[in-house]
Structure formats: structure tokens, C-alpha cells
A and B are shown apart, each in its own frame.
Chain A
Amino acid sequence: MGRALDETSFAAPAVLWLGDPRSTEAGLVGGKAAQLSALAATHPVPEAFCVTTAAYAAYERTGGVPPDVARAAAAAYRELAARSGDGPARGTPVAVRSSAVDEDGAGASFAGQHHTYLNVTGEDAVLAAVAAVWRSPHGEAALGYRRDRGLGDAPAAVAVLVQRLVSCDASSVAFSVDPVASDLGRVVISASWGLGESLMAGDIDPDRWVVDKASLSVIARTVGAKQRMTITDDAGTRQVSTPTFLRQRASLSDEDALAVAGMATGLEARLGHPVDVEFALADDGPVLLQCRPVTTLAAPADASGSPP
């Protein structure tokens, strides 16, 4: 798995669909997309395509989105719209997310360091969002994060994941271990109403579940204040004050929470390391939006009982 910036990468496609055998190569589609692609066959993930690191290399070289990349991405977006049944006229709303080569690696999760654009609709808006993601790794926050992790100042190659926006009532994040208590036997779930932005921002008090991994039963449940929530706007999203009716209600049923916990537990077993999984709660259950390794677990040795 090599860097995609050398001359040979010109042969690589500018766009790859999730589920395509080549889209499990992190060097081509970034860590996030590669992970989702690997899970696409067995897990509910939104339909998506990736604008590859090969396209990013061309962008870096020319200082703009090359016409052939734009054409390929636009065609893929039209295809996504057609598959979603929304048709080309209205377009289909998508989430545009960064998927960097060294992000979501086992050593650094980069969570929230790169921009995500939700509810992007129309070819022009999607292309603009792709370009905006490519500009974002140069941002101060991401650079600081990289320095702290010893990753150097040079931005990594960045692919862009374009996912069909899941129409969801609630969003959820599950850790397959308790990252604070470093308890490997528990799944910890946060959830709130609406799209995931307000939850990911971390400045609201979400609903919480603690689920026992072995018995898959709810140990604790707290209904949080969920002060703000993110909803779609005509273009993009809007953070609004959460209506009282929703604040007073848990954003997930226990059934949903257990489904989320079960999926996180299964992913941990399959991938061989603790995971941090983001879900959208759609009409027919949780949809997997991204799955990252947990990189902040204080001392894995605790689990075996040996001293640190």
C-alpha cells in the first residue's frame, strides 16, 4: 500500500464506488472510506463514492480541481442521484467527508479534525464541497493535531467520501470499550436527535447508554439535556435549540441502543481492536457512517490485570 502521489498513480481512477475491490486500499481512498468499503458487504452503510487520492494529487499539482476530475465526480454524483431515485433535476442530498490516508489509522483518529459537509445538493455544490475538504487539512486545528502526534506539517493525501445523506431521526456514537474508565467489557453510547454535527461537536449533553458487552444488556441509561441539535436547512445544516418535547425523550429506544452496541461489539471482534463507530438512526435501524479505531484508551494493559 504505497503513497498515491507518485507518477504511477496517474493510472488510478479519480472516482471509486464504495464496494469496488480497489476502494479498500487506504492509499487510494483514505482510511475512513477503505474501512467502510470493507464493511459495505456485511453492514448497512450509505451508498457512496470516493474522489481518490489520485484526484487529490492532480489537484495539488494544478492548484485546482482538474476538469477530468470534476467530470468524473459530477457523473458519479448523477449516478448516485439516479440510484437514490431522486433524479437529476432535484439532485440528491449527500454528506461530503474527508478520508485522509493517515487519518483513522491505528495511532490517530483525527476525529473532527477534517471538515464534513452535510446536506450538500447538486453537482456544483458537491464539487465545491470536495474542493473545500481538500483545502481543510491545511487548517490550523488539523496542523496542530498533526504536530502533537508527530505526523509532521505536510498534509497527508486526502480522498473525499461522498455519501448519500441518511435521512435520520437521531445520531449516535458508540465506543466498543469505555474510553474513560478503560473498561473493555462495556459499550458506551452517546446519542442525540437529528444529524450528527451537534453530537460530534461535543458541546451538548447527550443521552447515554452503558451496555454490558457479554450479556448485551443495558446497565445504565441517562437522558441528557441535548441542548442543541442539527437539522437540514435549504442548503447545508442548521444548529437549533432542541424542542422541549425532544429534550425530555431519549433519542434512541433501548432496542436501538442494543442494536448499536451489538454492531460495535461485532466490529471490534472482526477488526481486532476497540472501535469508535458513528451511526445514523434511519427508518429501519442504525446505519454505519464511519468506524475508527479507538486511539485514546489509557492503558490496554489494565484489561489483562498486569501493572502498567
Chain B
Amino acid sequence: MKQPYRRDQPSPGHQPPATGGAGLPPHLPAPWTDPADADRSFERDLTHFPQPVTTLDFAFLKHTVEHGLATTVPRFAAPFRVELRRFWTRVYNHEVLYCEPQDVPRLWSTATREAFAPMLADLERQWSDAWLPELRSAQAFWAVFDLAAAGDADLAAHLDASLARVRRVWEIHFEVVYAVAHAWSMFWETYSEVFEGATQLDAAALVSGFDNLTAEAGLAVWRLRDVATSLPGVADVVAASEPAEALARLRATPGAEPLLAALDAYLARYGRRATRLSLGAKTLLEDPTPVLAQLRDAVAQPESDPRRHRERLAAEREAAVLRARERVARYPRPLRAEFEHRMRQAQVAVRLKEDHNFIIDHETTAAVRAVVVELAGRLARAGALHGPEDVAHLDLRELRAAAEALAAGRKDDEALDLRDRVAARAAEMERYADVAVPTTLGPPRPVPPQAARGAAPSAGTLEGVGMSAGVARGRVRVARTFDEARALRPGEVLVATSTSQPWTPLFATAAALVTEVGGVLSHMGVIAREYRLPAVAGVTGATELLEDGALVEVDGLAGVVRVLAEG
């Protein structure tokens, strides 16, 4: 009998025909250091890293994401893992399969699902009794360490310990992500079989409207708005200030103290997040400008209040659950019980999808960033770097070596001779900043890349995947970065490569959302539905094909964007 699964050895059946790197665009040099990469398939990771990444961020990704994914193979019989590459400063994924390509879905839904069965028996308990305590313990480890007071040797040791800790945190990350994916696919399997012809959006209605940290943080901005409008003259200051100057102006405004106190409380609770996943990105605590921009938008929309949606969404969910139960009641008891179980697990999964992201992707990245920033300051003072921000161009090995050299007082150690290397890497970032790079590289993958969907079928209409029902019209605002997204005005259609957590409050300002990547259970899908925001994902090239100011109509159920008038 054919052995379908080889955990010890990647599938030789997945070796595509060698191309030797032929087909690279002429303006780009061959990017690989491993010659075998020339014959491998790569796809850009636009979901998580639409922008160039630095040497440090990429090293951190290898250390956390690639490691976390790799452990799912021996631990959970995952039929694949992903290797990361940094080509031309962009992140590319290379899938390593442990079976024949056509067996991936089957193994995923059998062997891997079985490995997750103990967790899926009670996802809530797995989170509250196992994952969350471990994450909180890691956070406590970072919280109690006094970075400023630590000697260089303690700081170097703390860096090592932090990197070890964060590796385990990212193992948990993929345990959660895979468990969440299984919980959803199991619910969807049964739902779609009982309700033939149903869409994933129909199924999502049964698991929407529960609290999660992302939604909570988004709604908290509207509570800040209530505080601001309750103080005479203060809302006017928020509305009239550039977000970057708003804090200083509020501090100089008599009577604004309650808002400043509320803002401090907001940042203490939700501020250990950045607008992109990067050790180089300032957290909201370090720079609250994004919060003040969102506050300004909220003040500008006195009649708007996304908190109202939540009650309606919960009521709609309960109504949908009751309707579903009427149909399921026709089936034998074992199916009725299993349907309830799978629905409950999917409801928990939707929450964990956001909460794990909040705590792991954001808060623990912020914790490691704090260690790196402290060390960067010392390296700059010691003259190893021009400035602290140059740490972004070191990899983790170089960073650790520098920390040790600093701790040992070896001023002439070559581990502290970093300026030239940093300059070369900074120049590379500069060189590729605006260079177009391919979405895929190498021979075609056996499974078409996700981004291959959503081709434009006719002039003026873009097709994607419906994420959140509703039809809305508005002018396009293309945002490739969070900074660009801050230009969004109420009533505009936000068009982005992808969105991450801190974009959430923009969902209350936008009339609709269009992204190039994402799925029904992606962060943006979950949150767009929470905000009742019409949303379409998987629109390939949306940020290129749609222009600022164009009038479009977004149909979030059909998954279609119609261009009504050019910008």
C-alpha cells in the first residue's frame, strides 16, 4: 500500500520541473543564496506583509513564524509547512509538502484534525486553561523586567531569554490558528451539508456578534469620542487638530483632563499594538497618533455609533441559530448534538482568531520590541550604530553577538562593527522601495495560489469573495499602508492589500472595504461583519486597478466591485 504521509521527509512528488530561475523579470537580480531556490515555487505573502520588511523583521519571522509552522509537522501531523524567504526585501512563502499535493486536504482533515481533536473537544477550556495562562506567563516575564535598570549583561541574557520565550509563544500561535481553522471547517462541513447551497457568509451569521479583543479595542475609540463630546470645546480641539499634534494641543486645553485620562486608560489597555507587524513599528503607547486620527473621525460622525450594531448583530445571530436548529431538529440526535458542538467551537474560534492575534502578534511583538529598542539605544550610544533605528538592519545573530560584546565591554569586537553592514542593508531597502516584484516565482505550484482568483471578468467590474453582506457606494481611497489609510474620509471605500487589527476603527468610517487577500474567517471578514461593513476580499490587484476618487459600488454578498465613474 502507498504510504501517503511522510512526516520525516518532504514529498519528492512535489518536485516541479526545474526552471533554473528562468523567467525572472529583467530588472531584478537573482535573489537567492541557496541555488536550489531557483527551482522552487514561491508566492509573496501579501496577507501579512504587503510592504517591504527589514533584515531584523525577517529574521524575527524566521525565528517565530517559520519555526512555529515547522513544529506543526511533527507535533500535529500537518501535511505541510512554509519556508520563508526575503527576496528584494519582500517576504515570499515556499510550501514544503509532506505528501502528494492532492492528498493535502484529505490529510489535513483526517490526521491533522485527529491530532487537534483533544483541543477541539473544548476550545474554550483549551484557551482559558492552557494557552492563555502560558501567554500570560510569558507576558509577565517581560512585564517584570526593568529594561532601563538592567545592566548590559542582564540585558543580553534577557534578549536571549526573550527570543526563547517568543518561540514558544509562536508555537502556541499556530496551535491556535490551526485549531481555529479546524473548528471553522468542521462547522462549515456540517452546516453546508444540512443547508445545501448555503454560503460561508450564511454560516458565519451563526458565529458572529461575540465580543473579542479587536472589536473591543475598536469600540473603545467610540467611548473616547463620548468623553470628548461631553467636554465643552474639547471635541472641537480634536476635530481641528492634526492627529500628530492633537495630544499636545489637548494637554494645553483647559478641561480636557478627563479625555487625556481616558486616553491613557485606553493606551494602557490596548496600546501595546502597532499599525503593522514589525519590531521597528512604534506601538500606540509610544505614538498614539493613529488613535487620535480615529478619534477625530469619530468626532466628525456624531450620528454614527458602531456599538449599536453589536446588539443587532447578536440578535440576528440568535435568530439565525434558532432557524438553523429548526432544520437540524429533523436529523438524528447524534447530528443535532454534533451540530451544537461544532457551532459552539466555531463561535469560540472566531473570538480566539482575534484574541490570539491581539496577544501574540501584537502584544508579544511589542514586548520583544521593547527589549530590542533598549539594546538599540545602548548600541547607538556605544557607537556601533549611527542611530537606534538602524537596529532594523541587523539579524538576530548579529544582535545577540552585539549584546554580548557590549556586556563584555569588548569595544573593538567586530560584533560591534556594524555601521557598514547597516548602511548596505539600508541602501538595499531604499533601492527596492518602489520596485515592482513578482507575486509568484518559479514553477507553478500544484495548487493555484489564492491570489489567482478574482481576475477581472469584464471592464468596470472586479470580482472577489464576498466577506460581509451589504451594498454601498463611495469614492475609492487606496491605502497600501496604514499611513495612507489615515487619509480615509467618512463615506469612502477603503481599498487595501490587506488590513490588520489596528485598522479596525477605520471600519466605522469607511462605506465599504475591498482587499486583495483574505477569507471569510480572516480578521477583516470577522470584523467587517461586526461593523456591518460591506466587504469584498480576494480582489487581485485592487490597489492597482482602482484609483483614488473613483466612484464604485461594492456588493459584499456577491463579492463584486463595480466601477461607476473613474476618479
- Alpha-carbon distance between A240 and B193 when the two chains are bound, in angstroms: 9
A169 touches B330 (CB 8 A): no
B333 touches A169 (CB 8 A): yes
User: 24 A-B Cβ contacts within 8 A?
Assistant: A169-B332, A169-B334, A170-B332, A193-B331, A193-B332, A193-B335, A194-B331, A231-B330, A231-B331, A232-B330, A233-B330, A240-B196, A241-B193, A243-B189, A243-B190, A243-B193, A243-B331, A243-B335, A244-B190, A245-B189, A245-B190, A245-B335, A245-B338, A246-B332
Q: Is B194 at the interface (CB under 8 A from chain A)?
A: yes
- Please report which residues of chain B, range 297-341, place their CB below 8 angstroms from some CB of chain A when the two chains form the complex: 330-335, 338
Residues in A whose Cβ lies below 8 Å from that of B335: 193, 243, 245-246
Most chain-B Cβ atoms within 10 A of its Cβ — which of A194, A232, A244, A245? A245
Q: Is A249 at the interface (CB under 8 A from chain B)?
A: yes
- Alpha-carbon distance between A231 and B330 when the two chains are bound, in angstroms: 6
Residues in A whose Cβ lies below 8 Å from that of B190: 243-245
Q: Which 4 A/B pairs are nearest by Cβ-Cβ distance? A: A169-B332, A243-B193, A231-B330, A193-B332
Chain B: residues with CB nearer than 8 A to chain A? 189-190, 193-194, 196, 330-335, 338
- Alpha-carbon distance between A153 and B189 when the two chains are bound, in angstroms: 50
Q: How far is the CB of A157 from chain B (nearest CB, A)?
A: 36
Residues in A whose Cβ lies below 8 Å from that of B334: 169, 245-246, 249
- Please report which residues of chain A, range 240-279, place their CB below 8 angstroms from some CB of chain B when the two chains form the complex: 240-241, 243-246, 249, 251
Main secondary structure of the interface of A (DSSP, over half): mixed
Q: How far is the CB of B566 from chain A (nearest CB, A)?
A: 47
- Please report which residues of chain A, range 197-253, place their CB below 8 angstroms from some CB of chain B when the two chains form the complex: 231-233, 240-241, 243-246, 249, 251
Give the total of A residues in contact with B, Cβ under 8 Å: 16
- Alpha-carbon distance between A245 and B332 when the two chains are bound, in angstroms: 11
* 8 further interface pairs, Cβ-Cβ under 8 Å (given A169-B332, A244-B189, A245-B189): A170-B332, A194-B331, A194-B332, A233-B330, A240-B196, A243-B194, A245-B335, A246-B334
Q: How far is the CB of A284 from chain B (nearest CB, A)?
A: 13
- Alpha-carbon distance between A272 and B331 when the two chains are bound, in angstroms: 37
A241 touches B196 (CB 8 A): yes
Q: How far is the CB of B519 from chain A (nearest CB, A)?
A: 21
Residues in B whose Cβ lies below 8 Å from that of A249: 334
Residues in A whose Cβ lies below 8 Å from that of B338: 245
- Alpha-carbon distance between A232 and B330 when the two chains are bound, in angstroms: 6
Q: How far is the CB of B344 from chain A (nearest CB, A)?
A: 15
Q: How far is the CB of A39 from chain B (nearest CB, A)?
A: 26
Residue ID in chain B nearest A245 by CB atoms = B338
- Please report which residues of chain A, range 135-184, place their CB below 8 angstroms from some CB of chain B when the two chains form the complex: 168-170
Residue ID in chain B nearest A237 by CB atoms = B330
- Alpha-carbon distance between A168 and B334 when the two chains are bound, in angstroms: 11
Q: How far is the CB of B323 from chain A (nearest CB, A)?
A: 14
Residues in A whose Cβ lies below 8 Å from that of B194: 243
Residue ID in chain B nearest A233 by CB atoms = B330
Residues in B whose Cβ lies below 8 Å from that of A244: 189-190, 193
Q: How far is the CB of B174 from chain A (nearest CB, A)?
A: 26
Residues in B whose Cβ lies below 8 Å from that of A170: 332
Residues in A whose Cβ lies below 8 Å from that of B193: 241, 243-244
- Alpha-carbon distance between A124 and B338 when the two chains are bound, in angstroms: 37
Residues in B whose Cβ lies below 8 Å from that of A233: 330
Residues in A whose Cβ lies below 8 Å from that of B331: 193-194, 231, 243, 246
Most chain-B Cβ atoms within 10 A of its Cβ — which of A170, A232, A246, A249? A246
- Alpha-carbon distance between A231 and B333 when the two chains are bound, in angstroms: 12
Residues in A whose Cβ lies below 8 Å from that of B189: 243-245
Residues in B whose Cβ lies below 8 Å from that of A193: 331-332, 335
Residues in A whose Cβ lies below 8 Å from that of B330: 231-233
Q: How far is the CB of A153 from chain B (nearest CB, A)?
A: 40
Residue ID in chain A nearest B332 by CB atoms = A169
Q: How far is the CB of A58 from chain B (nearest CB, A)?
A: 37
Residue ID in chain A nearest B109 by CB atoms = A244
- Alpha-carbon distance between A243 and B189 when the two chains are bound, in angstroms: 8
- Alpha-carbon distance between A193 and B333 when the two chains are bound, in angstroms: 10
- Alpha-carbon distance between A142 and B188 when the two chains are bound, in angstroms: 44
- Please report which residues of chain A, range 105-160, place their CB below 8 angstroms from some CB of chain B when the two chains form the complex: none
Residues in B whose Cβ lies below 8 Å from that of A232: 330
Q: How far is the CB of A255 from chain B (nearest CB, A)?
A: 15
Residues in B whose Cβ lies below 8 Å from that of A169: 332-334
Residues in A whose Cβ lies below 8 Å from that of B196: 240-241
Residue ID in chain A nearest B327 by CB atoms = A231
Most chain-B Cβ atoms within 10 A of its Cβ — which of A233, A240, A243, A246? A243
Most chain-B Cβ atoms within 10 A of its Cβ — which of A193, A231, A232? A231
